[in-house]
């Protein structure tokens, strides 16, 4: 393997592969100056840079340096108060009571084996190299190690920082960002994803304003309000044009990704733990590790950026055990029966699951002691004796005897005030003394920073999983945190609770997924309230939204697809009218919105299943037959207008191309529409299934494929139409002729 990281004698560092180069150097003052992040360079140690010692009449000069100012110097890990006025990566209080730290290069090393972060998820190494730069504040004996990892075949780099207090006095950390990236002056846009419950992943693009744009969370989860993913784009970037710089985090708690346009029009990207309300006491001799940040680069628009992310997340983030495993089709009891579940009902639904040909029955909420609605019982993870007299292990065995897999729902991090657990351990919740705790969905959050709480949850879940008949766990989390404080921490460490909660959660997840490597875990937080790479490091898939109306889900999946490969997503055919927005749609379109998700299923009542049985059987047969295809292929957004969406999915071997087309509202006299496919072999022939049509790859890409027409009423024979008027969908399947 050729070296991925090179260093010159005068301390210029380059991380470089076929997709990108990342270059920085040590200045005469010992400052890490950023030089380049972008397209791959064949001689990366030799980039043309501005003279940094230029007379600028307004800029402060750095610690006696002649004409050297940090105000206009792109840096790798900037601090505050030594001539840079932008928001800093590191900030805190030192033993003198002031906030001035000055970090200078001390040494570096390169390692082949990627170091795992202690107590936090981190991307797997594989063919990679990691550069570790040590910075030091000599006065306060604060050491910061910056970790940079580059992989041989990914357009992504990883960064994190590790603090170590080598002094004799405590240091209080307030900003401890994982990464800082100072992009040069330019005309940028920001792409980010915002939302709320059942409306996640709305894409917004805005011109980078003067000042600071921040996408963040102070809710205790990464949240649906702002997903921890922000891309800085060359203005006007499209799917296939423009320089794009994406940033995300392997973290599921309070995060911040900010982009600051400084006085010199540069763009500083900071990513890490949200400094708002964060405060960490670093005792002498102690370390603090930040979460890992990831940056991806594409010089050819958003499609390539997404491809980099998708390949990287599959290869280096989600659990390897399930990477290439087709997901089971399933029937989930939630929108089929809500809390109205008991053993007989579940076994009836299991029979229905067999009739419609799915692989797995998932028992959602409502199975544990006293849980008949959402006001009670979270925390008491034993089967309700009246409704589930045989208990969960026996029920699981009965379901499995029908030839199905068995899955079950937990919401481990929560407790209802009306529960045996809360009665016994009122101190086990996140709370502050002498204040009434605010509720969310009638529940309180357990204090996962405590090891006794972690152990309790491990034992409760283990008691059920150890029967050996549980194939799948849906791990839910249905509220944001309030009154965040821990009875187990001293007064002066209360503001560490949120991050310690995450460390506790990751520890618990690590224990459980290590003990049960074959159980498929699905991450859920009222849908997408914690849909991030931290959770996906432990769980191969996630429930992206409680919104199952297919039209609303188009923008949720389309938005999420900018970062996430769809093989981390699950979808089901839910009821119509939809229970969240009341929209009436066909079974077909309800299925099609999730057609490229890896895990596909149904959550319909027995009566609904009866009414639509033939269709449901057909779609579940299709889901089963294509389960392997939906793992590891390439997803592309090929069309998006106010009224249309088209997605392309190409299987791993390129032999099958699926093209899903959605037409939202019908209207008379619509124009003829086309979709242009991408990534095909230009000289191969592709056969359109269920037709006698064959097209050359270049024709499908350059000239495009005519989309079906939308018509109600009279139709011309031989013309391809959408089945419905409003909310219609169509799936094309092309097979490569020599495939
Ligand atoms: C959350 C989940 C749903 C369902 C319910 C059960 O809302 O997102 O899918 O599991 O909880 O209470």
Q: Is position 636 annotated as part of the catalytic site?
A: no
CA dihedral of 695, 701, 706, 710, whole degrees rounded to 10: 140
Strands (E), 494-613: 520-523, 541-543, 569-573, 599-602
Token pair recorded at residue 24? 């920085």
Q: Distance from CA of residue 554 to its chain's centroid?
A: 17
CA dihedral of 444, 448, 454, 456, whole degrees rounded to 10: -20
Token pair recorded at residue 606? 């027995």
Residue with tokens 């459980």: 512
- Give this prediction's pTM: 0.98
Q: Pick the catalytic residue: 471, 476, 532, 636?
A: 476
Residues 646 and 615 occupy one common structural domain: no
Is 85 within the bounds of a domain? Answer: yes
Nearest to 333 by CA among 411, 408, 413, 415: 408
Residues 293 and 194 occupy one common structural domain: yes
Q: Pick the catalytic residue: 546, 567, 608, 629?
A: 546
Please state, in angstroms and rounded to a whole number, the distance separating the CA atoms of residues 739 and 725.
35
Question: Is 666 a residue whose pLDDT tops 60?
Answer: yes
Tens digit of pLDDT for each residue in 696-713? 999 999 999 999 998 877
With beta carbons less than 8 A apart as the criterion, state whether 597 and 590 touch. Answer: no
CATH number at residue 488: 3.20.20.70
Is 322 within the bounds of a domain? Answer: no
Helix (H, G, I), strand (E, B) or coil at 238: strand
Looking at the CA of residue 526, tell me the nearest atom of ligand 1: 8
Q: Which of 630, 662, 687 is the last residue of a domain?
A: 630
Task: Give 407's contacts (C-beta < 8 A, 6+ positions apart).
Answer: 330, 332, 360, 361, 362, 363, 470, 471, 472, 473, 474, 520
Please state, in angstroms and rounded to a whole number, the distance separating the CA atoms of residues 332 and 407.
9
Angle between helices 343-356 and 613-625 (to 10 degrees): 70
Q: Find out whether the peptide bond into 577 is cis, omega within 30 degrees of 0.
A: yes
CATH number at residue 704: 2.60.40.1180
Is 321 within the bounds of a domain? Answer: no
Please state, in angstroms and rounded to a whole number, the distance separating the CA atoms of residues 26 and 32.
5
User: What integer best gives the mean pLDDT of the chain?
Assistant: 97
With beta carbons less than 8 A apart as the criterion, state whether 322 and 599 touch. Answer: no
Please state, in angstroms and rounded to a whole number, the distance separating the CA atoms of residues 711 and 233.
39
| Rg (alpha carbons) of the chain, rounded to whole number | 27
Nearest to 105 by CA among 135, 82, 72, 129: 135
Is 223 within the bounds of a domain? Answer: yes
Cα-to-centroid distance, 526 and ligand 1 (Å): 6
Please state, in angstroms and rounded to a whole number, the distance separating the CA atoms of residues 131 and 109.
6
CA dihedral of 698, 704, 706, 710, whole degrees rounded to 10: 150
Confidence label for 51 from pLDDT (cuts 50, 70 and 90): confident
Task: Give 721's contacts (C-beta < 8 A, 6+ positions apart).
Answer: 708, 709, 710, 711, 715
Helix (H, G, I), strand (E, B) or coil at 106: strand
Tens digit of pLDDT for each residue in 717-738? 999 999 889 999 999 999 999 8
DSSP state of 379: T
Token pair recorded at residue 718? 């031989």
Confidence label for 159 from pLDDT (cuts 50, 70 and 90): very high
Question: Is 739 a residue whose pLDDT tops 70?
Answer: no
Cα-to-centroid distance, 476 and ligand 1 (Å): 7
Half-sphere exposure (CA, 13 Å, Cβ side) for 686? 27
Find residue 271's DSSP bridge partners: 179, 257
Q: Which of 259, 283, 316 is the last residue of a domain?
A: 316
In this structure, the residue with its CA closest to atom 1 of ligand 1 is 526
With beta carbons less than 8 A apart as the criterion, state whether 336 and 607 touch. Answer: no
Cα-to-centroid distance, 486 and ligand 1 (Å): 27
Residues 654 and 605 occupy one common structural domain: no
Tens digit of pLDDT for each residue in 94-127? 999 999 999 999 999 999 999 999 999 999 999 9
Q: How far is CA 536 from CA 126, 239, 361, 725, in A?
A: 18, 26, 23, 38
Residues 359 and 231 occupy one common structural domain: no
Helix (H, G, I), strand (E, B) or coil at 332: strand
In this structure, the residue with its CA closest to atom 12 of ligand 1 is 365
pLDDT of residue 713: 78
Ligand 1 site-directed mutation target among 365, 377, 541, most atoms within 8 Å of CB: 365
Find residue 572's DSSP bridge partners: 601
Is 71 within the bounds of a domain? Answer: yes
Residues 577 and 502 occupy one common structural domain: yes
Q: Are strands 188-194 and 226-234 parallel, antiparallel or unpaired?
A: antiparallel
With beta carbons less than 8 A apart as the criterion, state whether 616 and 356 touch. Answer: yes
Tens digit of pLDDT for each residue in 176-235? 999 999 999 999 999 999 999 999 999 999 999 999 999 999 999 999 999 999 999 999
Residues 156 and 172 occupy one common structural domain: yes
Question: Is 628 a residue whose pLDDT tops 60?
Answer: yes
CA dihedral of 410, 412, 416, 417, whole degrees rounded to 10: 160
Q: Is position 434 annotated as part of the catalytic site?
A: no
Token pair recorded at residue 286? 């102690």
Q: Which of 598, 630, 662 is the last residue of a domain?
A: 630
CA angle at 320 for the pair 319 and 324, rounded to the nearest 5°: 115
Burial group, residue 667, by CB count within 10 angstroms (0-12, 13-18, 19+): exposed
Residues 217 and 345 occupy one common structural domain: no
pLDDT of residue 58: 75
Residues 401 and 501 occupy one common structural domain: yes
Please state, in angstroms and rounded to a whole number, the distance separating the CA atoms of residues 470 and 513.
13
In this structure, the residue with its CA closest to atom 2 of ligand 1 is 526
Looking at the CA of residue 546, tell me the nearest atom of ligand 1: 8
Is 56 within the bounds of a domain? Answer: no
Q: Hey, CA dihedral for 434, 438, 444, 450, is it positive or negative?
A: negative
Is 464 within the bounds of a domain? Answer: yes
Residues 102 and 247 occupy one common structural domain: yes
Residues 597 and 725 occupy one common structural domain: no
Provide the number of structural domains found in the chain: 3
Ligand 1 site-directed mutation target among 364, 528, 544, most atoms within 8 Å of CB: 364
Residues 428 and 374 occupy one common structural domain: yes
pLDDT of residue 59: 81
Q: How far is CA 466 from CA 75, 321, 392, 511, in A?
A: 51, 19, 11, 13
Domain that holds residue 693: 635-736
Percent with pLDDT over 90 in the chain: 95
Residues 614 and 639 occupy one common structural domain: no
Tens digit of pLDDT for each residue in 565-575? 999 999 999 99
Question: Is 1 a residue whose pLDDT tops 80?
Answer: no
Tens digit of pLDDT for each residue in 394-428? 999 999 999 999 999 999 999 999 999 999 999 99
Is 323 within the bounds of a domain? Answer: no
Token pair recorded at residue 533? 């790479």
CATH number at residue 42: 2.70.98.60
Please state, in angstroms and rounded to a whole number, the distance separating the CA atoms of residues 107 and 712.
72
Q: Which residues line ligand 1 (CB under 6 A)?
A: 334, 364-365, 409, 476, 478, 524, 526-527, 543, 546
pLDDT of residue 413: 99
Nearest to 246 by CA among 116, 155, 129: 155
Ligand 1 site-directed mutation target among 197, 376, 409, 575, most atoms within 8 Å of CB: 409
Helix (H, G, I), strand (E, B) or coil at 104: strand
Please state, in angstroms and rounded to a whole number, the distance separating the CA atoms of residues 272 and 293.
7
């Amino acid at each position: 393997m050729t070296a991925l990281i090179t260093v010159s004698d005068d301390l210029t560092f380059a991380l470089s592969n076929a997709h990108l180069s990342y270059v920085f150097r040590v200045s005469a003052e010992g400052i890490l100056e950023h030089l380049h992040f972008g397209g791959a360079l064949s001689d990366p140690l030799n980039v043309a840079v501005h003279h940094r010692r230029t007379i600028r009449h307004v800029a402060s000069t750095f610690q006696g340096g002649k004409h050297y100012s940090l105000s206009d110097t792109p840096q790798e890990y900037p601090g505050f108060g030594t001539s840079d006025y932008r928001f800093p990566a590191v900030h805190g209080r030192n033993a003198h009571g002031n906030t001035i730290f000055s970090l200078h290069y001390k040494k570096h090393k390169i390692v082949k084996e990627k170091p795992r972060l202690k107590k936090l998820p981190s991307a797997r190494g594989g063919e990679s190299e990691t550069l570790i730069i040590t910075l030091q504040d000599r006065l306060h004996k604060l050491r910061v190690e910056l970790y940079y990892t580059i992989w041989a075949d990914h357009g992504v780099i990883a960064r994190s920082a590790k603090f170590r207090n080598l002094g004799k006095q405590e240091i209080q950390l307030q900003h401890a960002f994982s990464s800082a990236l100072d992009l040069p002056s330019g005309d940028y846009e920001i792409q980010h994803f915002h939302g709320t419950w059942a409306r996640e992943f709305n894409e917004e693009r805005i011109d980078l304003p003067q000042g600071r744009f921040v996408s963040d969370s102070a809710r205790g989860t990464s949240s649906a309000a702002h997903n921890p993913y922000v891309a800085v784009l060359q203005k006007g970037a499209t799917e296939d044009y423009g320089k794009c710089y994406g940033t995300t985090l392997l973290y599921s708690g309070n995060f911040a990704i900010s982009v600051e346009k400084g006085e010199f029009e540069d763009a500083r990207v900071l990513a890490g733990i949200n400094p708002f309300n964060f405060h960490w006491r670093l005792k002498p001799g102690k370390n603090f590790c930040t979460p890992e940040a990831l940056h991806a680069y594409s010089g050819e628009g958003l499609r390539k950026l997404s491809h980099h992310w998708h390949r990287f997340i599959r290869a280096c983030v989600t659990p390897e055990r399930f990477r290439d495993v087709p997901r089971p089709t399933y029937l989930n009891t939630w929108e089929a029966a809500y809390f109205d579940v008991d053993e007989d009902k579940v076994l009836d639904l299991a029979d229905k699951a067999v009739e419609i040909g799915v692989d797995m029955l998932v028992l959602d909420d409502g199975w544990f002691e006293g849980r008949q609605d959402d006001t009670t019982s979270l925390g008491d993870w034993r089967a309700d004796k009246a409704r589930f007299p045989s208990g969960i292990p026996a029920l699981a065995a009965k379901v499995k005897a029908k030839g199905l897999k068995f899955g079950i729902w937990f919401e481990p991090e929560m407790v209802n005030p009306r529960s045996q657990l809360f009665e016994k351990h009122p101190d086990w919740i996140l709370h502050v003394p002498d204040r009434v705790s605010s509720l969310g969905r009638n529940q309180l959050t357990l204090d996962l920073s405590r090891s006794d709480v972690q152990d309790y949850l491990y034992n409760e879940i283990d008691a059920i999983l150890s029967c050996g008949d549980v194939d799948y766990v849906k791990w839910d989390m249905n509220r944001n945190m309030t009154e965040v404080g821990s009875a187990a921490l001293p007064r002066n460490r209360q503001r560490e609770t949120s991050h310690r909660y995450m460390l506790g959660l990751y520890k618990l997840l690590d224990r459980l997924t290590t003990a049960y490597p074959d159980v498929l875990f699905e991450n859920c937080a009222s849908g997408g309230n914690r849909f991030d790479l931290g959770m996906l490091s432990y769980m191969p898939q996630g429930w992206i939204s409680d919104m199952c109306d297919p039209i609303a889900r188009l923008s949720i999946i389309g938005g999420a697809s900018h970062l996430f490969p769809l093989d981390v997503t699950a979808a089901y055919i839910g009821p119509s009218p939809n229970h969240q927005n009341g929209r009436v749609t066909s079974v077909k379109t309800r299925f099609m919105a999730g057609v490229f998700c890896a895990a596909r299923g149904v959550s319909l009542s027995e009566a609904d299943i009866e009414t639509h049985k033939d269709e449901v059987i057909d779609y579940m047969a299709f889901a089963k037959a294509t389960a392997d295809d939906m793992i590891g292929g390439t997803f592309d957004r090929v069309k998006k207008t106010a009224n249309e969406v088209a997605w392309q999915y190409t299987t791993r071997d390129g032999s099958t191309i699926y093209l899903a087309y959605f037409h939202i509202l019908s209207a008379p006299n619509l124009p003829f529409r086309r979709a242009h496919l991408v990534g095909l072999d230009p000289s191969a022939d592709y056969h359109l299934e269920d037709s006698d049509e064959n097209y050359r790859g270049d024709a499908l890409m350059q000239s495009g494929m005519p989309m079906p027409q939308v018509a109600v009423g009279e139709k011309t024979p031989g013309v391809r139409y959408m089945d419905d008027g409003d909310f219609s969908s169509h799936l094309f399947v092309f097979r490569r002729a020599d495939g």
